Structure formats: structure tokens, C-alpha cells
Amino acid sequence: MPTDLALGIHDLSFSTTSLALSHDELSRHNGTDLAKYHRGIGQRAMSVPTADEDIVTMAAAAAAPIVRRHGADRIRTLVLATETSVDQSKAAGIYVHKLLGLHPHVRVVEVKQACYGATAGLQFATALVHRDPDQQVLVIASDVSRYDLDSPGEATQGAAATALLVSADPALVELDRPSGLFTTDVMDFWRPNYRSTALVNGKESVAAYLEAVEGAWRDYSAQGGLPLEEFRAFCYHQPYTRMAFKAHRQLLETCGVPADEAAVERALAATTAYNETVGNSYTASLYLALAALLESEHDLTGQALGLFSYGSGSVAEFFAGRVRPGYQEHLRRDAHREAVDRRRAIDYGTYRELHERTLPTDGGRHDLPHQTQGPFRLAGVRDHQRVYEAA
């Protein structure tokens, strides 16, 4: 097997839902000072799914442009990472496989570890491509974050999917080999099988995240990773965008570097453009940050980027990527901005109705209204089976 093979992200595409609830509207409902949302947690809006949108429809919508651009002949594996799966047994990626019209000679699996799952899928993918450089792997992260109404977590909700095409000789970002890892058993965020909304210990969650930043970085350094000063920018998992700034200050403190606010802003500001208006997309969040950074006005050619992935419970990884020459020719800036801008604004009453809605469980035939603006939809549930179709 080759030893000096460039591996990484060849293409990146994302999708979100058709609806959005602004934090202006949320604050009018609950009386919260808008500054707490805009400046305190760094959020301005959240994506909200229509009745016929879910993780499968978003995943297929995110991946379809990649398949159109590159074809599917070399895709031999599809990994779908999610913590809001639609089935306890069947991988959601199999529905996506059908919607995309992929050939049958593909392995399809689902990966779960809170918000970290997509990074696990990315690392699995690079190993597969290293073994057979002619292969490509489609890694999709798709999630809808939901918390109880009127709970502290409500303002951080969101929904999105990112699709990464992993290959040899990548066009966007080449991944470096060392990774820093950190795992500890902590109950900072979890969702039992009998609940549709997550449970969060807010203070514990922040503390666990920051502990993981330090632990993963120390392991990364021990594995021979790049020194802090070689990184041009950093992408963090963003449960809310200001969490990334807390995380970077923790990293600087761990490295014994003063946390100069201007320097922190320069390192992170370009990564928040999508997450601040889409909301927390769990597994997709880190890669929305990467998309925003690559699509910023900065020329990042040849620059090293630090990426920190965190999944509550908890598992974390710090790794590095280097931006490839010519990467700007392969970006999807216009399509991504259009996906965010086309969402229809809704009022709190509409949002609340959608939030409280659940699919029937009686095994009968239940057709869903056609509401999505996307290319795929959940048409209904029949005999306990989800039925998906092109919209």
C-alpha cells in the first residue's frame, strides 16, 4: 500500500431545511433579551424542518450535487453519521443510497457518537481510500437538533446535512496523519431511546467540552502534530457559535499563549457564517464551519487548518488539514448561500406546531403534505415503513 498518498476532502456540499425561525421571533415569544442570543451565544436563526423533511431528505440533498459533479462509479462506501436516526436497525444511508440512484456495489453504514460521528466516518473513509486509492467514500452528516420547548437549549436548535467526498489527491483539503484523541464518560448531553428531545446539563457540557479540547490537543502534540503557530485558522464543533471562541481560548491557555481577543477573532470569525443562522446541526456542525471558512474571502492556499470535533458523552478529536492549491475552483459558495437564503421565515406558532408534531405509530397509511423546497421528501408512513421520493 502507498505510504505518501495525499488523502482528504475532495468535495464538500451541504443542505438545510425549507423553514427558519429567527431569534428575533423567539425573543418576542419568550421575552429574552435579544442580545443574549446574538452576542451571548452567537445565534441569529435556526433551521426548522417541514413535515416532509428529515435527516434522510437533507442527506440526499447534500450529497446529490457531489454525485452529479463526480459520478458514482468510484463510490464504494457511504457512511452516514447522525444522532437523530430514523430507525433503530436500518441505516438511514440506505434510503439515501436509493434516492441518489447509486449502484448496488456499495457498503452503507450508520455511525453514532453524538456530534463526533462524522469525524469518525471521515477517518474510516481515509483508511479505506488508503487501502484502495481508486475508491472514493461518501461521508454524510445529517441531524435535526431538538430540545424541549421553553428550555435553555431551545435557542440552539437547528438542522443541516453536510456531504464530504473523500478521495486520494483531494481538491479541497489534505488531511494530516496525526490525530489527538480524548474520551471520558460524562453525562453532559444525552437522549434516551424513549425521548424525542435531548437532555442537557449546560454547565457540565461546557466544562466537558473544554476538558476535551485540552485533552485532545495534548494527545495531538504527543503524537507529533503541528505546533500551534503553524495553524492559519481553526474550525470547532459549534453547538452555538460562541462556544468555539471559548474553546479556542482554552486551547491558547493550554499552550501557554495569551488569549488575545483580536487573535481569537481572526482565527475563528470566518467559520461561523453558516452555523449562526442554521443553528446546531450536531454531526454536520464542524463541517459547516469548514465550508464557511473555505468560502470566505481569505486565500488559504497551502495553509494549515486545525479541526476540533466533539461529541458529548464524550469523544473528541483534534486533527489538521492543509488547503490544496486551486481549492477555490471547487467550492459551492453560491449554492450554499442560496440554500440558507431561500428558507421561508415562520412565526413562533408555526414553529411550535411543527416541533410538537410526531409521526403516527399505528402502522396505517399516513401521507404527508408536500411542503419542502428541496429535491427529496418524506412522502409518508405506511405499515410502519417510511416512504421517500423525489420531490
User: Could you count the other beta carbons within 10 Å of the beta carbon of residue 246?
Assistant: 17
Positive/negative CA dihedral, 373, 377, 379, 381: negative
pLDDT tens, residue by residue, 207-265:
999 999 999 999 999 999 999 999 999 999 999 999 999 999 999 999 999 988 998 99
Query: Among residues of the chain, what percentage have pLDDT more than 70?
Result: 99
pLDDT tens, residue by residue, 178-216:
999 999 999 999 999 999 999 999 899 999 999 999 999
Q: Which domains does the chain have, with CATH numbers?
A: 7-390 (3.40.47.10)
pLDDT tens, residue by residue, 282-338:
999 999 999 999 999 999 999 999 999 999 999 999 999 999 999 999 999 999 999
As to burial, measured by CB atoms within 10 angstroms (0-12 exposed, 13-18 middle, 19+ buried), residue 181 is: middle
pLDDT tens, residue by residue, 337-389:
999 999 999 999 999 999 999 999 999 999 999 999 999 999 999 999 999 99
Q: In what order do the strands lie in the sheet with 366-367?
A: 366-367, 376-382, 385-390
Do residues 181 and 219 touch, judged by C-beta distance below 8 A? yes
pLDDT tens, residue by residue, 17-64:
999 999 999 999 999 999 999 999 999 999 999 999 999 999 999 999
Catalytic residue among 83, 174, 276, 317: 83
Q: Is 83 a catalytic residue?
A: yes
Q: How large is the average pLDDT for residues 134-143? A: 98
Helices (H) and strands (E) in the chain, counts: 12, 17
Ramachandran area for residue 224 (φ above 0: left; ψ -120 to 50: alpha; else beta): left
CA 369 to chain centre: 27
Q: For 87, what's the count of Cα atoms within 13 Å in the CB-facing half-sphere?
A: 16
Find cell 471547487 and name the residue.
330
Q: Is 237 a catalytic residue?
A: yes
Alpha-carbon span 292 to 160, nearest angstrom: 14
Q: What is the CA radius of gyration of the chain?
A: 20
Look at strands 199-200 and 366-367 and give their pairing. Answer: unpaired
Is pLDDT at 2 greater than 60 in this prediction? no
pLDDT score at 4: 80
Q: Is 70 a catalytic residue?
A: no
pLDDT score at 202: 87
Catalytic residue among 110, 115, 295, 317: 115
pLDDT tens, residue by residue, 106-127:
999 999 999 999 999 999 999 9
* CA dist 317 → 9, 236, 291, 306 (Å): 17, 10, 19, 11
pLDDT score at 3: 59
pLDDT score at 1: 43
Catalytic residue among 10, 23, 97, 237: 237
